[in-house]
């Protein structure tokens, strides 16, 4: 499947790879590639067609649909809580993972992203906040399609605390850039996800069959929801 590249603004693109989305941001000195998708196409060529700047690759988390083109790059950065998941996710040689910590910043020259740890969807899921441009990249954690919350590494209680962390800083951004579903979404989706997750923990949501085979049920509330077991 060919990638679909859509310009967001000057120096920012989203790269659609089927059901998952990657991002490329360019500053004056470096570019930031967020995730490499699921198809394993020639992501490096796509990036080189958009910028000649040196590229820093960051993975928002280590689910396989965010890693497919990682081997085309010399290294990747992610939170160390993802290392076990990352090194066990795909067979064969892997791009070495370097640590990216909560509180770190990625300076591209004229564009800066702050790193926030938001565990729940996975142990080391992160968000990347660009205060100057008032956007935040959240991986799979914020979305209008149901968030996967079943299987190893998922924790609904941790997820609620992480969403409350994002909500507390929501005066710093106007738009959320998710990896799946509609693009972009507003900060109000975070409040909806908190409410839905709390309702799910309290047993207030009815299980539904997901639209494709999964070892989990779907739980929806106010237009957001989870695949949860």
- Virtual CA dihedral for 210, 192, 189, 216, nearest 10 degrees? -20
Cα separation, 66 vs 81, whole angstroms: 16
- 32 inside domain: yes
Helix axes 156-168, 188-201, angle to 10 degrees: 150
pLDDT (mean) for 114-133: 98
- 216 inside domain: no
122 burial via Cβ count (<10 Å: 0-12, 13-18, 19+): buried
- 70 inside domain: yes
- 209 inside domain: no
CA nearest neighbour of 16 among 186, 180, 126, 211: 180
- 52 inside domain: yes
The confidence score (pLDDT) of residue 91 equals: 66
The confidence score (pLDDT) of residue 13 equals: 98
pTM of the model: 0.97
Q: What is the mean pLDDT of the chain?
A: 96
Question: What's phi and psi for 139, nearest 5 deg?
Answer: 60, -135
**What domain range includes position 180?**
4-193
Q: Is the peptide bond before 148 cis (omega within 30 degrees of 0)?
A: no
pLDDT (mean) for 82-97: 86
Number of domains in the chain: 1
CB atoms under 10 Å from CB of 71, counted, come to 17
The DSSP line for 38-59 is: SS---HHHHHHHH--S-EEEE-
Residue 127 sits in a domain of what CATH number? 3.60.15.10
Q: What is residue 162's three-state secondary structure?
A: helix
Cα separation, 59 vs 125, whole angstroms: 9
The confidence score (pLDDT) of residue 192 equals: 98
- 167 inside domain: yes
pLDDT (mean) for 155-180: 98
Cα separation, 35 vs 21, whole angstroms: 8
- 225 inside domain: no
Res 119 pLDDT > 80: yes
- 201 inside domain: no
Using pLDDT thresholds of 50, 70 and 90, give the confidence band for residue 2: confident
3-state SS record for 75-125: CEEECHHHHHHHHHHCCCCCCCEEECCCCCEEECCCCEEEEEECCCCCCCC
Cα separation, 226 vs 201, whole angstroms: 11
Quick: pLDDT tens for 131-167: 999 999 999 999 999 999 999 999 999 999 999 999 9
Quick: pLDDT tens for 57-66: 999 999 999 9
pLDDT (mean) for 108-136: 98
């Amino acid at each position: 499947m060919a990638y679909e590249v859509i310009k967001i603004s000057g120096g920012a693109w989203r790269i659609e790879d089927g059901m998952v989305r990657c991002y490329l941001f360019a500053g004056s000195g470096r570019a930031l590639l967020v995730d490499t998708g699921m198809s394993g196409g020639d992501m490096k060529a796509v990036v080189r067609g958009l910028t000649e700047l040196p590229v820093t690759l960051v993975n928002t988390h280590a689910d396989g649909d965010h890693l497919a083109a990682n081997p085309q790059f010399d290294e990747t950065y992610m939170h160390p809580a993802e290392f076990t998941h990352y090194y066990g996710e795909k067979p064969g040689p892997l791009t070495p993972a370097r640590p990216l910590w909560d509180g770190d910043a990625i300076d591209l020259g004229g564009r800066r992203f702050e790193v926030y740890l938001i565990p729940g969807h996975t142990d080391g899921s992160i968000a990347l906040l660009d205060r100057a441009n008032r956007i935040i990249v959240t991986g799979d954690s914020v979305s209008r399609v149901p968030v996967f919350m079943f299987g190893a590494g998922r924790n609904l209680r941790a997820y609620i605390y992480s969403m409350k962390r994002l909500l507390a800083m929501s005066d710093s951004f106007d738009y959320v850039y998710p990896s799946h579903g509609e693009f972009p979404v507003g900060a109000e989706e975070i409040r909806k996800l908190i409410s839905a997750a709390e309702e799910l923990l309290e047993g207030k949501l009815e299980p539904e069959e997901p639209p494709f085979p999964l070892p989990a049920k779907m739980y929806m509330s106010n237009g957001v929801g989870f695949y949860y077991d």
